[in-house]
Amino acid sequence: MDDVTKKKLSSAGGKPLTLQEAARLTAAFPKMAVAKVVGDWSEAALTGVFFSLSEDQDPSGLGVEMQWMTVDEVLDEAQNATPGIQASRLGLLPVGKCMLGSGDPYFVDTRVASGPIVRVPHNAVNADTDVLDESRIERVSPSLDAFVQTSSVGLDQ
């Protein structure tokens, strides 16, 4: 994560990962390439920060009102919720909750080195097969750095 991004986040009032939280995330996702996300999150105060993108700034055209999750929320989404369970199987790490009312969570796609930020609609999971339709994944930003730099950030929505 670059210095401009870290500086912007430092004024947003969030919290970085602790060593214990970083270890929990790494242990919980042994098959995912989470090292970059964990490293960035350990250096930058992401937890609890609200991110906003206008419809024009969001490639999906929907706009973003998201709060970065706590580690407990990340683990709960990945282990106990749809589409978190199905998305995690594919290598998507849950990181954000929708603050607009849809409840559609946000993820870092750990399958791509740049770590794009994506949104996964709840109805992208087939109820009969329990499989996530990957064509329904909505790319919000090409990377975490780009997402933070483009977004309005703060501790309250």
Question: Looking at residue 11, what is its pLDDT?
Answer: 82
Highest-scoring range by mean pLDDT, 1-5, 107-111, 127-131: 107-111
Give the SS3 label for residue 117. Answer: strand
Q: How does pLDDT run across 25-84, given as a tens digit for each residue?
A: 999 999 899 999 999 999 999 999 999 998 898 888 888 999 999 999 999 999 999 999
Whole-angstrom distance, CA of residue 9 vs CA of residue 50: 10
Question: How many domains does one find in the chain?
Answer: 1
What is the pTM assigned to this prediction? 0.93
Model confidence band, residue 156 (pLDDT cutoffs 50, 70, 90): low
- Residue 30: asked if its preceding bond is cis (omega within 30°), the reply is no
Whole-angstrom distance, CA of residue 54 vs CA of residue 118: 15
Alpha helix (H) residue ranges in the chain: 3-10, 19-28, 35-43, 71-80, 84-89, 144-150
Question: Looking at residue 17, what is its pLDDT?
Answer: 95
* Residues 123/86, Cβ–Cβ less than 8 Å: no
CATH of the domain at 135: 3.40.1580.10
Q: How does pLDDT run across 86-111, given as a tens digit for each residue?
A: 999 999 999 999 998 888 999 999 99
Whole-angstrom distance, CA of residue 132 vs CA of residue 120: 9
The CA-CA-CA angle for residues 83, 89, 92, to 5°, reads: 70
Please give the residue range of the domain that contains residue 132: 3-154
